[in-house]
Amino acid sequence: MATKKVSRVEVKKTYKLFINGAFPRSESGRVFEVTAKNGDFIANPALASRKDLRDAVTAARAAQSCWSKATAYNRGQILYRIAEMLEGRAEQFESEIALTARITPAKAKVQVAQAIDRWVWYAGWSDKLQAVSGATNPVSGPYFNFSISEPQGVVAIASSDDFLEFIDAIAAAVVSGNSSVVLVPGGLAVPAMSFAEVLATSDLPAGVINILTGSLDELAPWAASHMDIDGFDISGIQKKKHGALKEAGAENLKRIHSFESGKTPTRILAFMESKTVWHSVGV
Amino acid sequence: MTFEYAPAPESRSIVSIKPKYGHFINGSFVAGKKHFPTVNPATEEILSHIALGGTSDVDKAVLAAQKAYTKTWSKLSGKERGKYLYRIARILQERAREFAVLETLDNGKPIRETRDIDIPLVAAHFFYHAGWADKLDYAGLGHSPKPYGVAGQIIPWNFPLLMLAWKVAPALATGNTVVLKPAETTSLTALLFAEVCQQAELPDGVVNIVTGDGSTGAAIVNHPGIHKIAFTGSTEVGKKIARAIAETDKKATLELGGKGANIVFDDAPVDETVEGIVNGIFFNQGHVCCAGSRLIVQESIAEEIIEKLKVRMAKIRVGDPLDKNTDLGAINSKEQLAKIKELSAVGDTEGAQRWSPQCNFSDKGYWFAPTIFTGVTQAHRIAQEEIFGPVLSVLTFRTPQEAIDKANNSPFGLSAGIWSEKGSRIFWASQHLKAGVIWANTFNKFDPASPFGGYKESGWGREGGKHGLAAYLKNGKETGAK
C-alpha cells in the first residue's frame, strides 16, 4: 500500500466497525495495528469494546423481524447480490488478503474465488432448507402435523483469521434468517471491513450482519454470556477455550457449536430451531 | 337434580409390588445399599423401598452398557435391533393394564390417563422407533450415521414410563446402549420395564436402570464412560448439566421447562376452546412441561370464556386416581405441593384474583384444587415462572400482535396453543410464536412421529419423529454433490 513515488498522495481508509448498516468508530476509541510481513504499517482497525458488542446485538435483534420474515426467495436474491458485489471487488480482496494473511497473490486469488463461489452455494440454500429439514408427521389422530425449521434469532460468530472460514460462518448463519454479530480477529479486519462495504451496497437490511474487529479473547466471553444472543459459532476459537465459553453460554442455554469444515447444510441447521405445528382436522 | 357418580375403582390386584428393589444392571437386579421409601401420593401409603444409587452403582451400570455396546449391540444389524424393539412394544401392550395401575399408584395421575394416554403412547414409541432401526440411512443424517455409544438418561416424575420410552426407544433404535435413572418419586414402572427387557430377551447390559436422587443423576452426567446425555426436567438442572459437560465432548439433549401460552382469539369456537383450556392446564394435574399455563384471551370474549371455564372447572372430578371417573389426581409429592402452594400465594400477594371450585379432599395424600388466577399481568411471577401444577394464569389482549408479544415474553419457548376458526390467522400466529410445539385448536397432543422440544431456555434438541433421531447419531458422510 505504500507508494513508491510521491507523485500523488494516496487517500487511505479509516477503519471502523460495521453496526446496524453504519460505520461507527469503537465507542472506546481503541484501535490495534495491523502490519505486513515486512513490518510495514497497513491499518489501525478498531478494537471493539463490550459496549460495541451490546450495540451490535441490539441492532441484530432489531433486524430479526424483517430478515427472518423476508421470503426465502428474497433472502436468496439479496445474498446472491452480495456475491455480485464481491466479484466486482475481487482484486481488492485478493490484494488485502495477500498482504494481511501473508500469502502469495496466487493463493489469495484462489481463496477469493472460493469464497465467492461458497457464498453463492449458501445463497441457494435459502429456499431449499425446508424441503430437506422439514417433515409432515403421520400422527395417529385427526391432525395435520408438520415440522419446519426456523432461524434461532441472533447468532454470534467468532471467526478464525481465514477469509474463507469467515465467509462460511456468516453465510451459514444468515441464509436461514438469523441476524449475526461477527467477531473478527487480527489482520482479517482489513478484508472484513471491505466485506462490510460490500454488504452496505447489497440491499442487505441494516443490522443483519454486524462486524466487530478486535480481540477474540476479549469479545468471545462477552458474547458467550450475553443473554440476548441465541446461538454462537465458535469455530474460530482454539478448542481448549471452548469449555469456558460453553459454561458461560449455559446461562441462557445458547446453542454453541464449532465446525471442522464449511459447505454443509448441517452448519445452517445447527442455528435453526424445529417447530412442529398440530392442526386439528374436521368439518 | 344432580347426578352423582358412584365409585368406579380400578382393581390394584393386577400389580404386585416388592417391598424393596435394587438396580437393574447387566440384565439382572442387583441389591442396593441404601434405600428410600416411595409413596402413593394419593394415600401417603409406602409402596416400596427404592435403592439409592451411588457412584459405584453408576460405574457398574456404565461398564455393563459399554460392554454390551462393544460386544453385542453395535454388532447387531439394524434389522435385528428393531426386532427387539418390536418385542418390547408388544409385551408393553400385553401388560398395559398392569403398567397403568402401577403408574397411577406411584405417580398419582388418574387411571383414565395412564390407561388411555401414557401406556398406549409408550408402546407406540417403541413400535415407531423399531421401524427406524434399519432405515437410519434415510433419516437425513448422511450415509451410515453412527451411535455415540453409551447414553446417560435422566427422566422426570410427571410421565415416568412415557419419558423412559421417549429416551430408551430412540437410543436403542439408533444403536446406543443406555444407563437410565428414573425420578426419585416414580421408579416403579421403570423397574417393571426391566422385567419387560428380560422377557424380550434383550441382550444383557443394553438397558441398565440405576435408581436414586439428584446425586445419582450427577454421577451419570459426570461419568467419563458416557458420551451422550438426555435429560428431561427443570431448566435449573438443565443449565447445571450444560455447565457440567462444557469442558467435555459429551452431547446433550435437554427437555426443560415451559410457560406455554394458550391464545384464544375472539372468533374461537367457545365450547371446544374451554375444553382445550381445561385439557391444556389440568391434564396430568398440570405437571406438564408444555402445559398451557398462561391463558391469553382476547379482551372482547374474556368474560364469556372465563365464566364458561369456571362452570366447566366445577365439573372436574378430583380425587382417587384409581377411580375410572377421576379427572384430576394427586399432586406427585409433598415437595411439589409446597411449591404450588408457595407460587399460588405469590399470585395472591401480587394482586391477581384466585378462584377454585369447591373440592372435598381426603385427609391423606397431596391435593390441590384446579385454580385460575385472573387479572394477571406480565410482570407477575405467576405469569413468568413455571408452577407445574393445576394453576392457570389468565391475561388478556386486544390486538393479535399484542397476543404474540405477550406469548413470546418468556425465557421459555416450549409450547403454545392457538384457538381460532380463521385459517390464515392460525398460520400467521403459528409463524410468529417462538415455541417448539404449537397446537392449533387442540392442546397437549403427543405422538412418536411428532418431534417435541423447545426454543430458548426450554432446552436443546428434539425428541420423536425424524428429528429426534439426530439426538442419538453422529452424522454420516454426506452424499450430496459438491
The full set of domain ranges for chain A reads: 42-280
pLDDT band at A260 (very low <50, low <70, confident <90, very high): confident
Sign, CA torsion B272/B274/B280/B283: negative
Report yes or no on B8 lying in a domain. no
Instruction: Indicate the SS3 state at residue B297.
Output: strand
**Is residue B16 included in any domain, yes or no?**
no
- Stretch B83-109: mean pLDDT, rounded? 98
Catalytic residues of B, which ones?
255, 289
**pLDDT mean over B243-271:** 97
pLDDT at A261: 77
On whether both B347 and B296 belong to a single domain, the answer is: yes
What does the angle CA A207 – CA A213 – CA A214 come to, to the nearest 5 degrees? 140
CA distance A184 to A214: 6
What is the spatial distance between Cα A106 and Cα B139, in angstroms, rounded to a whole number? 42
Element holding B151 (H helix, E strand): strand B150-154
- DSSP secondary structure letter of residue A273: E
Q: Provide the pLDDT for residue B477.
A: 81
User: What is the per-residue pLDDT for A283?
Assistant: 83
Query: Has residue B480 got a pLDDT over 80?
Result: no
pLDDT of residue A4: 60
Q: Are residues B312 and B378 in the same domain?
A: yes
Is 90 exceeded by the pLDDT of residue B4?
no
Whether B216 and B349 share a structural domain = no
Q: Report the pLDDT value the prediction gives residue A3, as an integer from 0 to 100.
A: 52
How far is A116 from A114, CA to CA, in rounded Å?
5
B182 within domain boundaries: yes
Q: Which residues of A touch B478 (CB under 8 A)?
A: 264, 266
User: CB distance B246–A243 less than 8 Å?
Assistant: yes
**Cell numbers of A185, please?**
480477529
- Kindly tell me if the per-residue pLDDT of B482 is higher than 60: no
Chain A residue with minimal CA distance to B435?
Answer: A275
**Residue B437 maps to a domain:** yes
Is it the case that residue A5 has pLDDT exceeding 70? Answer: no
What CATH number should be reported for the domain holding residue B273? 3.40.309.10
Contact (CB<8Å) B242/A140: no
What is the band of A1 on the pLDDT scale with cuts at 50, 70, 90? low
- Residue in A closest to B412 by C-alpha: A252
Q: Which residues pair with B25 in a beta bridge?
A: B28
Q: Which helix (H) or strand (E) holds B230?
A: strand B228-232
Count of pairs with CB atoms under 8 A, one residue in A, one in B: 107
Nearest-CA distance B332 → chain A (Å): 28
Query: Residue B321 falls within a domain, yes or no?
Result: yes
Segment B317-338 shows an average pLDDT of 97
The domain defined by A42-280 folds into: Aldehyde Dehydrogenase; Chain A, domain 1 (3.40.605)
Interface test with B, best of A69, A120, A133, A140 (most B CBs within 10 A): A140
CB-based contact B243 A247, cutoff 8 Å? yes
Q: Which of A244, A274, A277 sits opposite B467 (nearest CB)?
A: A274
Those of residues 144-163 in A touching chain B at CB distance below 8 A are 145, 147, 152
In which domain, by residue range, is B318 found?
261-445
The predicted-structure confidence for A202-228, as pLDDT tens digits, reads as follows 999 999 999 999 999 999 999 999 999
Cβ-nearest to A275 among B239, B436, B441? B436
Sheet strands side by side (includes B391-397): A135-136, A143-151, A272-280, B437-440, B415-419, B261-264, B294-298, B391-397, B371-374, B353-355
Q: Is the pLDDT of residue B481 over 80?
A: no
Amino acid, res. A71: T
| Contact with chain B for residue A143, Cβ under 8 A | yes
Q: Provide the pLDDT for residue A6.
A: 72
Note whether B410 and B339 are same-domain residues: yes
Band the pLDDT of B238: cuts 50, 70, 90. very high
Residues B62 and B162 in one domain: yes
Average pLDDT value over all residues in chain A: 96
Check B256 against A263: CB less than 8 A apart. Answer: no
Domain-embedded: residue B6? no
**B167: pLDDT confidence band, cut at 50, 70 and 90?**
very high
Q: Which long-range contacts (CB under 8 A, 24 or more apart) does B248-251 make?
A: B248/A243, B250/B226, B251/B148, B251/B227, B251/B471
Helix runs in A125-251, H state only? 129-133, 163-174, 189-200, 216-225, 242-249
CA distance B252 to B245: 8
Q: Do A276 and B445 touch (CB under 8 A)?
A: no
Domain match, B116 and B165 both: yes
User: Does residue A2 register a pLDDT over 90?
Assistant: no
Q: Are residues B251 and B265 in the same domain?
A: no
pLDDT tens for each residue of A135-194: 999 999 999 999 999 999 999 999 999 999 999 999 999 999 999 999 999 999 999 999
Residues of A in contact with B450 (CB under 8 A): 137, 139, 145, 147, 276, 278
Question: Is the CB of A278 inside 8 Å of chain B's CB atoms?
Answer: yes
φ/ψ of residue B109, rounded to 5: -80, 155
Residue A243 touches partner B, C-beta closer than 8 Å: yes
Report the number of distinct structural domains present in chain B: 2
Per CB-CB distance under 8 Å, the chain A contacts of B449 are 137-140, 145
In a domain, B14, yes or no: no
Average pLDDT over residues B382-402: 98
In the predicted model, is pLDDT for residue B62 greater than 90?
yes
Averaged pLDDT of chain B: 97
Nearest to A139 among B447, B462, B475 (CB): B447
Whether residue B12 is contained in a domain is answered as no
Cβ-based contacts of A276 with chain B (< 8 Å):
436-438, 450-452, 465
ipTM over 0.90: yes
8 Å CB contact of A276 and B478:
no
Contact across the interface for B441 and A280, Cβ inside 8 Å:
yes
Q: Which of B363, B368, B296 is nearest to B331 (CA)?
A: B368
pLDDT in tens, A118-128: 999 999 999 99
Chain B partners within 8 Å of A147 (Cβ):
450-451, 465, 467
Contacts of B235 in chain A (CB under 8 A): 253
Instruction: Count CB neighbours of A109 within 10 A.
Output: 18
Residues B403-432: tens digit of each pLDDT: 999 999 999 999 999 999 999 999 999 999
The CATH number of the domain holding residue B72 is 3.40.605.10
* Beta pairing class for A34-35 and A209-214: unpaired
Q: Which of residues 57-86 of A touch B (CB under 8 A)?
A: none
A255 close contact with B: CB closer than 8 A: yes
Regarding whether B247 and B273 lie in a shared domain, the answer is no
Residues B160 and B73 grouped into a single domain: yes
**What is the end-to-end Cα distance of chain B in Å, rounded?**
76
pLDDT (mean) for B370-382: 97
The model's pTM is 0.96
Mark whether B464 and B393 lie in a shared domain: no
Using DSSP's 3-state secondary structure scheme, residue B389 falls into: coil
Q: How many other C-beta atoms are found inside a 10 Å radius of the C-beta of residue A103?
A: 16
